[in-house]
Amino acid sequence: MEYTKDLSIVISLFNEEESLPELVSWIEKVMLKEGFSYEILMIDDGSRDSSWSIVKSLAEKNTAIRGISFRRNYGKSAALFHGFKAAEGRVVVTMDADLQDSPEEIPEMYRMVVEEGYDIVSGWKKQRFDNKLTKNLPSKLYNATARRITGIKLHDMNCGLKAYRNEVVKNIEVYGEMHRYIPYLAKNAGFDKITEKPVQHQKRKYGKSKFGLERFVNGFLDLISLWFLSTFGKKPMHFFGFTGILMFITGAVLAIWVIAEKLIQQANGMAFRPVAEQPLFYLALVAVLLGFQLFLAGFICEMISRNSQERNHYNIKETL
């Protein structure tokens, strides 16, 4: 496939008016030094300051700059989705607009994708300058959990500085808050040559972070959702059906056991407790009903899956 540029640099921004001129100047300096043909895609995610006016002013001075402005704040995933859609470069690089990601890292990441054949090169902020209590410790826990669930050995899954082969970003859909898990989305789409590169982390120079501790809670929930959808999305009956059958059988066995125990004790003239007075019997009935409902839920999910527009969507690597 022919590409019009070497690099597409996708930048999602929200209220970053102070940093934009300096960031663009920094990127231009690196691109000129390395001789790259490039474009800078600046996605304004509904900024309330003068960020968009600055983007337009910068674009007048540098034709490599293209911009998209949202009417309101939709989130980083929406910004990246449109940036990926518009990207024309052989390698697509994402970075934050707050000057904490260094453009000096881009040439080596580009080389790793082009020459070493990686699908994704993810930045690893090995030495961070964030608050250790509110950022570093939760980040370590979050990344350890992400590594275990996704099977992708990255130390910093959420790092904004990443480089992708163009084919990768054109074959994944980033939505909701899934920008944190683009490597996992790519892996599920068949792009599994993923590595990381230690990158320099800068102290925030202007403004305040747009993310709080709630992003880690939301991140865990999104990770669970993504794992479930990727595992059972095309075969929901495997989860709901198995769970339903297991609960149904467990409940039925317990109910029969309670009834049989009462009948045996009654036949032998022993003291017995009426079935209707035993809590275990009612728990068994609840398990039977829940198991039946889960099994029916599996059928309904299968019907929805079979009628989904994505049911036969597969990423094809090559045809002859």
Model pLDDT for residues 254-306, shown as the tens digit of each residue: 999 999 988 888 888 888 888 888 899 899 999 999 999 988 888 787 777 66
Q: Strands 120-124, 162-165: parallel, antiparallel or unpaired by DSSP?
A: antiparallel
- Is 246 a member of any domain? yes
Query: Which of 232, 261, 291 lies at the terminal end of a domain, its last residue?
Result: 232
237 confidence band (pLDDT: 50, 70, 90) = confident
Taking all residues of the chain, what is their mean pLDDT, rounded to a whole number?
A: 85
Residues 6+ apart with CB under 8 A from 89: 3, 4, 5, 6, 7, 8, 9, 38, 39, 166
Residues 72, 33 share a domain: yes
- How many structural domains are present in the chain? 2
- Is 311 a member of any domain? no
Query: Which of 207, 232, 257 lies at the terminal end of a domain, its last residue?
Result: 232
Residue 309 DSSP SS3: coil
Nearest of 118, 134, 140 to residue 196 by alpha carbon: 118
Question: Phi and psi at residue 148, in whole multiples of 5°?
Answer: -70, -40
Q: Assess whether pLDDT exceeds 70 at residue 307.
A: no
Residues 191, 295 share a domain: no
- Is 314 a member of any domain? no
Residues 133, 72 share a domain: yes
Q: Which residue has the higher pLDDT, 114 or 320?
A: 114
First to last CA, the chain: 15
Residues 269, 190 share a domain: no
Residues 56, 12 share a domain: yes
Distance CA 65, CA 59 (A): 5
- Is 247 a member of any domain? yes
Residues 260, 187 share a domain: no
Residues 23, 143 share a domain: yes
Q: Render pLDDT for 16-26 as a digit per residue (tens, 0 to 9).
A: 999 999 999 99
Whole-angstrom CA distances from 90 to 18, 78, 196, 209 are 30, 22, 19, 31
Residues 257, 225 share a domain: no
Q: Which two tokens stand for residue 84?
A: 């990926």
- Is 316 a member of any domain? no
Query: What's the one-letter identity of residue 138?
Result: P
Q: Which domain holds residue 94?
A: 5-232
Q: Which residue has the higher pLDDT, 36 or 276?
A: 36
166 confidence band (pLDDT: 50, 70, 90) = very high
Q: Strands 38-44, 120-124: parallel, antiparallel or unpaired by DSSP?
A: unpaired
Domain containing 155 — which CATH number?
Answer: 3.90.550.10
Residues 249, 150 share a domain: no
Alpha helices, H only, the chain: 20-34, 51-61, 76-86, 106-114, 137-150, 166-169, 182-188, 214-232, 236-267, 279-306
Distance CA 19, CA 79 (A): 18
Residues 282, 175 share a domain: no
Q: Which two tokens stand for residue 126?
A: 């090995």
- Is 29 a member of any domain? yes
pTM of the model: 0.72
Q: Assess whether pLDDT exceeds 50 at residue 320.
A: no
Residues 244, 222 share a domain: no
Query: Which of 232, 264, 283 lies at the terminal end of a domain, its last residue?
Result: 232
Residues 170, 192 share a domain: yes
- Is 319 a member of any domain? no
Q: Assess whether pLDDT exceeds 60 at residue 170.
A: yes
